[in-house]
Chain A
C-alpha cells in the first residue's frame, strides 16, 4: 500500500481517538453515558459522512470530467437536504426512521439525474458548473420555502442546520440509519475506478473501449445519492469536502481518477473529523455560546481552493 495512503488511514484513526475525548463536557474521558450515546455516534458520523463526501467528490469529478465538481457545490447536497426536510417536518421520519435518509437519497438521486443529463449534452466544463450552481440555488430556495410552510412554526429557525450543516446531538439512531447507506454507497463508488479512467478520454472513446457509459453514470449517481444523501439527512448541508479533498490528494496520488478513490474516502474522513473537532473545541477555548457550523468551517477551508482550481482550469 502506498505510504501516503497509510498516512491517511493512520490520521483517520488518530482523529477518531482524539474526537472521542473532546466535547462540551471537557477534554478527557467522560462518563460512559456521554461517551457512548453522544461522543461515539458523533465521531463515527463525522468519519462516515466525510468519507462519503470525499469519495463522492472524486467520483463526480471523474464522471463529469471536471475538477470543480463537488456534491455540495453542484446542488446534490442541497437536493438531498430538501428531501430530508420534506420527510422530517411532515412527520414521515417520526413514523419510519428510514424515511429520513430515504427522502434525502431520493432528493440526491434527482439532483444527480439532472446533472448527468446535462453532462451528456457534451456541454463545456464551465456550462456544467453553471448548471450545478443553478441547481444549488434552486434547492436552497425550495428549502427556505418548505421550512416556512412546515407545520411546526420553529422549522424556519433550523434553516442554518440544513444549509450549513452540523453534527451536534446526533444519536446512535442517526448512526444506525445513515451508516449502512453511506457504507453501501461508498462500496459501490469504489468499484468504479477503471470506468472513470476510461471516461477521461471522453464518453465516445470510453464507449469504444467497451465501457457501458450510461450504466456507469447511473451507478455513479446511485452511489453518490446513497453516500451524500444519507450524510445530508443527519448532518445537514456540508459542501467543499468533495472539492478540496481530491484536489489536495492529486499531487500525491496522481491525476488518474481511479487512483484517487480510496485516498479521497480517507481524506474526506480526515477533513470532516478535523472540522468537527474544531467545531467542538471552539466553544471551549473561545467566547462562543454555540458551536460554529460545520459547513462554514469546510467552506472556509475549501473556498480558497476553489479560486486556485478555477485559475488552473482557466489557463
Chain B
C-alpha cells in the first residue's frame, strides 16, 4: 500500500498503518499533517514511478491532481491506482473514510472512525455566535462549500467570507465578530506574518492548526471544537 498524496497518507495511517509500504515525505511535517508523529515511524517514498514500482505495492492511493505523470506511468505498468477527491464537508469526509476503508478491507475500523466523528459533532454546543472570518495565509477566506466553512458552521458561526481573497483593509471593513487564522508556524514568512499585523489586534481571535483543515479527515472535527469554545 503506497500513498502519493498528503491526504490519502493520513487516511492510510489512521485506517491501516500496518499495510503501509510508502508514504509521502510531507506526511512527516507536523505543520501540514495531523499524523506526523506516527508517519515518521513508517517508510517514506518519493512520488516517483521508479521508486514506487520498486516497492511492488498492490494498491496506490493518490489525489485527483498532482503526480499525474507518476500515476499514468504506474497504471501503464499495471499497478492499481485509486484517485480520490478532496472532501469539503463533514459528510464528504465520512463517505471517503468508508470508501477507503472498503478498498483496504478494514470496514470495521472505518465505521468506528465515522461513529467517533458523528459523536463529536453532535456534542458541539449549539449557540448562534455571530459572524466569523476565516483568514488563511495569503488572505484567502473560507467561503461556502469549503471545509473551513463547514467547521465554522458546525461551531455555530456565520461565515463572513466569500471564498475569495481579501486584503487587510477589506478584512477590517467587514468587522467580523471573530477572526480565525492559522496557528503561527515555527519559522516566519511574509504570508503567515500578515495574520499578526498590528491593525488586527482589536479583533477577537481564535487560531486553528492548519494541519486540521488542509486535508479533510476525522481529525478535522477538532477544528470545529476549537471554534466552538
A–B touch (CB < 8 A): the answer is yes
- Residues on A lying within 8 angstroms of B by beta carbon are 23-25, 30-31, 33-34, 37-38, 88-91, 93-94, 150-155, 157-158, 161, 168-169, 171-173, 289-290
Residue pair B202, A33 in contact (C-beta under 8 Å)? yes
B191 interface residue per 8 A CB criterion: yes
Minimum CB–CB distance from B4 to chain A (whole Å) comes to 18
Q: Check A158–B168 contact: CB distance below 8 A.
A: no
CA distance A289 to B162 in the complex (A): 13
Check A152–B187 contact: CB distance below 8 A: yes
With a 10 A CB-CB cut-off, give which of A88, A158, A171, A290 has the most chain B CB atoms.
A171
A-B CB pair tally, cutoff 8 Å: 73
The listed residue (B165, B172, B194, B197) touching A25 by CB distance below 8 A is B172
- B78 at the A/B interface (Cβ < 8 Å)? no
B158-191 contacts to A (CB < 8 Å): 164-170, 172-173, 185-191
Specify which of B167, B186, B189 is in contact with A169 (CB 8 Å cutoff). B167
> Could you list 11 examples of A-B contacts with CB < 8 Å?
A23-B169, A30-B173, A33-B199, A89-B189, A91-B187, A155-B189, A158-B191, A171-B197, A171-B199, A173-B198, A290-B165
CB distance from A39 to the nearest CB of B (A): 8
Contacts of B89 in A (CB 8 A): none
Q: Which residues of B contact A173 (CB under 8 A)?
A: 198
| B214 smallest CB distance to A (angstroms) | 12
Cα distance, A130 to B191, chains bound together (Å): 35
Contacts A33-B199, A37-B198, A37-B199; is A152 near B189 (CB within 8 Å)?
A: yes
Q: Are A34 and B188 within 8 A (Cβ)?
A: no
Q: Are A152 and B188 in contact (CB under 8 A)?
A: yes
- In this assembly, does B137 line the interface, its C-beta being within 8 Å of a C-beta of chain A? yes
- Residue from the list A151, A161, A289, A290 in contact with B190, Cβ < 8 A: A161
Given contact pairs A25-B172, A169-B168, A289-B164, a sample of 13 additional A-B residue pairs in the complex whose CB atoms are under 8 Å apart: A24-B166, A24-B167, A24-B170, A31-B172, A34-B169, A38-B169, A150-B187, A152-B192, A157-B191, A158-B191, A168-B168, A169-B197, A171-B199
